[in-house]
């Protein structure tokens, strides 16, 4: 190959690598340092007040970020209300009558826009930062959130139905689902640790407590008072015994066969993720570090950057 041909091969390779990494390089924790230096502190103050008022809100805000990123990337699409042109993800199976915290996001958006003097911070970035601040407010780890996402102008209920993992999934289905989002088995276990906080509705764990065999019988019996065979679909049970504190109790519960959801207990059921669950059940330092890293990785799923999307004025509707 001549020197000219070799040069063009190198150039082509460089362009390919540059394109592949450009999305990630455009997200940076310092994104708003000049355009709105008070953005992050403003988000934090609203989140802290909301969590102090109702600690469950921390889990709700964390869940919004998860459910946003798992549907066509971290683009704020979960926040869009139904309209003639928007088939809202709020009406998907995973979100309908269970996703919550939208009013807090509205409050954050108003406060941030006031602090910035204009709409500068995207709703997608608000979700990412609010998720981190919620975890911190409940005693969990912190991490530097890469920023610079822009907001989608579309949403897809069908994509939400297809992309968000279900409470009845087995381990193989969970691994495949996470792999489809660029996340590995370790990310699956680590991010499931977000269930250290919050609650689930009876309809999500009824089959487990009446039909699963890998469940502590006393645990199952207690849950049957909350969740009868019929009725009470929206009755709540904590996802672990310390639902108001971000800790490793979730993993300890799995080892004791006290996972609330079928999908939770699948992580410790004789499969390839057992050892990691065991490790996190006694090592909070490792879990905290790994959780921050996996949250950053999840937050990098297909963000809109540059001239893509928009910065919404109202998180609930396109501009």
Alpha carbon distance 298, 187 (integer Å): 9
Number of neighbours of residue 104 by Cβ within 10 angstroms: 23
Number of neighbours of residue 199 by Cβ within 10 angstroms: 17
Quick one: which H or E segment has residue 236?
strand 236-238
Q: Which of 67, 181, 195, 262 is catalytic?
A: 67
Quick one: which H or E segment has residue 199?
strand 199-201
Q: What is the dihedral of CA 314, 142, 94, 192, to 10 degrees?
A: 170
- How far from chain centre, in Å, is Cα 199? 15
Q: Output DSSP code: residue 168.
A: T
Q: Is 181 a catalytic residue?
A: no
Q: Output DSSP code: residue 129.
A: H
Catalytic residues: 67
């Amino acid at each position: 190959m001549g020197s000219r041909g070799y040069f063009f091969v190198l150039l082509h390779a460089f362009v390919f690598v540059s394109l592949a990494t450009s999305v990630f390089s455009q997200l940076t924790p310092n994104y708003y340092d000049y355009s709105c230096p008070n953005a992050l502190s403003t988000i934090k103050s609203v989140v802290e007040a909301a969590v102090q008022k109702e600690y469950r809100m921390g889990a709700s805000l964390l869940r919004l970020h998860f459910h946003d990123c798992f549907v066509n990337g971290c683009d704020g699409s979960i926040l869009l209300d139904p309209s003639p042109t928007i088939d809202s993800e709020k009406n998907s199976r995973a979100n309908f009558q269970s996703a919550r915290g939208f009013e807090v996001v509205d409050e954050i958006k108003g406060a941030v826009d006031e602090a910035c003097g204009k709409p500068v911070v995207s709703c997608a970035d608000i979700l990412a930062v609010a998720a981190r601040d919620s975890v911190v407010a409940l005693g969990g780890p912190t991490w530097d959130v890469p920023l610079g996402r822009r907001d989608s102008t579309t949403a897809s209920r069908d994509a939400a139905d297809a992309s968000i993992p279900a409470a009845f999934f087995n381990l193989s289905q969970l691994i495949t689902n996470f792999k489809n989002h660029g996340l590995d088995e370790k990310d699956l276990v680590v991010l499931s640790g977000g269930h250290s906080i919050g609650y689930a509705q009876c309809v999500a764990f009824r089959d487990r407590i009446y039909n699963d065999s890998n469940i502590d019988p006393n645990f199952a019996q207690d849950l049957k008072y909350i969740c009868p065979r019929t009725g009470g679909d929206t009755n709540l049970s904590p996802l672990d015994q310390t639902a108001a504190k971000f800790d490793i109790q979730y993993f300890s519960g799995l080892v004791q066969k006290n996972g609330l959801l079928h999908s939770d207990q699948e992580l410790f059921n004789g499969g390839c993720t057992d050892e990691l669950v065991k490790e996190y059940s006694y090592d909070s330092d490792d879990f905290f570090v790994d959780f921050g890293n996996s949250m950053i990785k999840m937050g990098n799923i297909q963000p809109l950057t540059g001239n893509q999307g928009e910065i919404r004025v109202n998180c609930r509707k396109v501009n």
